[in-house]
Amino acid sequence: MSSSKSNKIVKLESSDNKTFEVEEAVAVQSETLKNMVDDGCANDTIPLPNVNGKILEMVLGWCKKHVDETVTGDELNKYEADFLDLDQADLYGLLMAANFLNVKGLLDRVLQRVADMIKGKKPEEIRRIFNIKNDFTPEEEEEIRLENAWAFD
Amino acid sequence: MLILPQELIAEILSTLPVESLVRFQCVSKAWLSQINDPYFIKMHLHTNRQRSLIGRKRKSNRWPEEYYLVNISNEDRLGDPVKIFPPLYRSENVKYRTSVIGSCNGLVCILFFCNRKYGSHYEIGIWNPSIRKHRRVPFEPVDDKHKQGVRVNSLNLAFWYDPVNTDYKVLRIVKFDDPESKTKSLEEVQVYSLKAHSWRRIEDQLPYKEPFIISSSQSVFTNGALHWFVTSATGRTILAFDLTTEKFGVQTLPFTLHSFGNLMVLEGSLCAYAYTNQATGVWMMKEYGVTSSWSRVHTVPLTFFYRQLLAFSKDGKKQLSVIGIKLAPESDNFQSPETCQRRNQVTGILPVQESGAGILPVPESGTGRPNSGRDIAGFRPSRSYLDGPGY
């Protein structure tokens, strides 16, 4: 989408009231923000009540890196790998933000990273990570375990 | 604390190995429901492109027979074989031997047979080794007017996925002695539907007037049909069974096969390994259905037995294949020969992914193109249902 002002700035405000200013080219890496820009809603500061400052800074850093033409393919790969070396809380915050902001490449990477982290875990651990209540009775859960005993070794 | 929306959870789950999904069924009722949702299972099959091989250890005198699962990593390396157990069938202390008929979308069709004193007995099972579950195909006696039971001479089976009806099917061609005439042989064709959990006699029966034998032990799939070599008084022809129309057809060969040659598929075309007068080698039917389009594409030494594709490398450029029961030479493999040989010793026979007795391209999505193999079948692990809609 061409803009008459090619270095138009987009202003964003995180849930904890931090403001960020980025070039439009960076901001539109997010489909959500791109739609707002296209619809002409991006002239004032865009509030993002479900993304905190720390996470938003990370996401914008990712977007900046991906529009920077001076970055080589190898450098980008390394950047992406290091980027996802986060603790669980940040990773899930990032997941929610990437989903909401619809930053394509980032969302796929985070989903894969989360999948890799959880694939070997036990159900109890999964419940803790995702804050899920166990709504099975002990008998019901036991039945599933017995039927598929081989998977629980 | 964080609550992830269900669609993100589904996306994460769709990339997980089947074993993890089986375990995560007991996380919560919502997760149990998600993991068993037919749409999710389909999504998972298309997303989680885990390539695997399943094989049976040959000449194993142990019972139950030893089957192994070998995963191929994203870096095209063979993982360690994991022992798995096929469904066990035992009747009057008779131990069945098994043979893999084919596999599709993670389901493996397996034949259990035993040779008893007065004829052989068999069972067919549809097995999903990834979730360790199976369904027994109901035994269907030969549709014989006399109802006295018949002596089965030969049995040919094939397994495939029918995307039109989202169903898995098994084809059974049985040749048996005509009870009224000791010299005559009759045949009967039936198709089993997993969805309907029943057999159905095919109206279109085999198009041979003279006595014939199906010489191929397993079928080869290409151009929407299954193919076998057939030997009759007039020579050797190719029998084709169109999976859509459920009709048989015969294709003639422009050369005479002096010895038994193998049917296979190369680059999507039907091929035959022929020992003929003119030229021994691999012949390809360049235009399907056109007899004159057969032309020789490879001259190979007599030690070449048959070539069976196991899997493609991640970039699709290389193949892992088996010649006879040994792995193909280095130039064809994406693994070094020593590793291949080591695997070969451990498992005896390595399974094939989605291929016929020849070579089939690995489908991009779970289109369920069938493959058949005797001791070998490669497949993609899935949670495909054994009693519900197919994918």
Considering only the beta carbons, identify the residue of A89, A99, A119 that sits closest to B20.
A119
- List residues bridging with B185 in a β-sheet: B177
* CB pairs A-B closer than 8 Å: 70
pLDDT surpasses 70 at B52: yes
- Quote the CA–CA distance of B325 and B337 in Å, as a whole number: 14
Percent of chain B whose pLDDT exceeds 90: 9
Chain position carrying tokens 């490669």: B378
> Does residue B319 contact residue B325 with C-beta atoms inside 8 Å?
no
Rounded alpha-carbon distances, angstroms, from residue A93 to A27, A115, B249: 19, 15, 61
Residue range B54-60: average pLDDT?
64
Least confident of B125-139, B153-167, B205-219, B343-357: B343-357
pLDDT grade for B117, boundaries at 50, 70 and 90:
low
Least confident of A5-14, A122-131, B58-67, B177-186: B58-67
Predicted pLDDT of residue B275: 66
Residues of A in contact with B25 (CB under 8 A): 144, 148
Give ipTM to 2 decimals.
Answer: 0.84
Look at B187 and B12; give whichever has higher pLDDT.
B12
The per-residue pLDDT for range B10-41, each reduced to its tens digit, is 999 988 888 899 999 999 999 999 988 878 88
pTM given for the model = 0.72
A152 has a chain B CB within 8 A of its CB: yes
Q: Is A31 helix (H, G, I), strand (E, B) or coil?
A: helix
The per-residue pLDDT for range B307-318, each reduced to its tens digit, is 455 555 556 555
A125 has a chain B CB within 8 A of its CB: no
Residues of B in contact with A130 (CB under 8 A): 2-4, 9
B163 has a chain A CB within 8 A of its CB: no
Residue range B82-100: average pLDDT?
72
Predicted pLDDT of residue B195: 84
Cβ of A145 and B24 within 8 Å? Answer: no
Predicted pLDDT of residue A17: 93
B8 has a chain A CB within 8 A of its CB: yes
Burial of B55 (0-12, 13-18, 19+ CB in 10 A): buried
